[in-house]
Amino acid sequence: MAKIEKIELRMVDLVPKVKRTDAIQSFVSQETPIVTITDADGASGTGYSYTIGTGGSSVMRLLADHLAPRLIGRDADQIEAIWHELEFATHATTIGAITAIALAAIDTALWDLRARKQNLPLWKLAGGAKDRCPLYTTEGGWLHIETQALVDDALEAKAKGFTGSKVKIGKPHGSEAVA
């Protein structure tokens, strides 16, 4: 495969359409770091990951200052070797979410590049054992939703063919759960 020539980094900050809260935090925005890797043949692959409102700028700095420069000139087909090198290079921070989010965006971009160059959908490149998988909705995974709305969402999901519905039970703040 051709050598990596260019890395483009972008951040898209999406505001949720509805308020979302769980026991730990509110989903104030979806910061989406996007990585596009282009090789010497002009082919490109794109990957992204996201935060729910904090840390996106730190992910972008890690990508720009430490990870993306290590990719230039590498054989884009050596995905596993690149992953291990980047993991080792960030050894002091690999436990945290910032590093995991940055590495995920690069890894996904490399796999997308490989799939595009081989003219295969990613699911086939990854093994292709199944052409379908069961899905479930996660819209009920927030604590601000009233009980009846959770029930209605689960029934609507079932009617649409989803095999399950994620539901969280409790109140957004611990003080509200005290009787």
Kindly give the confidence (pLDDT) of every residue in the chain, 179 residues in length, as a single tens digit, with 9 standing for 90 and above. Answer: 699 999 999 999 988 887 777 777 778 889 999 999 999 999 999 999 999 888 999 999 999 999 999 999 999 999 999 999 999 999 888 778 999 999 999 999 999 999 999 999 988 888 888 878 888 888 777 777 888 988 898 899 999 999 988 887 777 666 666 65
Q: Which two tokens stand for residue 83?
A: 């992953």
Question: 106 and 171 share a domain?
Answer: no
H helical segments located in 16-168: 56-62, 68-71, 79-89, 97-117, 122-125, 147-159
- Whole domain around residue 115: which residue ranges? 4-125
Question: 166 and 83 share a domain?
Answer: no
CATH number of domain containing 53: 3.30.390.10
DSSP 47: E
Determine which helix (DSSP H) or strand (DSSP E) holds 14, and give its type and residue range.
strand 4-14
Question: 17 and 63 share a domain?
Answer: yes
Question: 105 and 155 share a domain?
Answer: no
Give the integer Cα–Cα distance in Å for 86 and 25.
30
Q: What are phi and psi of 59, to 5 degrees?
A: -60, -45
Flag whether 29 is in a domain: yes
Number of domains in the chain: 2
Question: 20 and 85 share a domain?
Answer: yes
Flag whether 143 is in a domain: yes
DSSP 174: G
Flag whether 46 is in a domain: yes
Flag whether 131 is in a domain: no
Give the integer Cα–Cα distance in Å for 63 and 35.
9
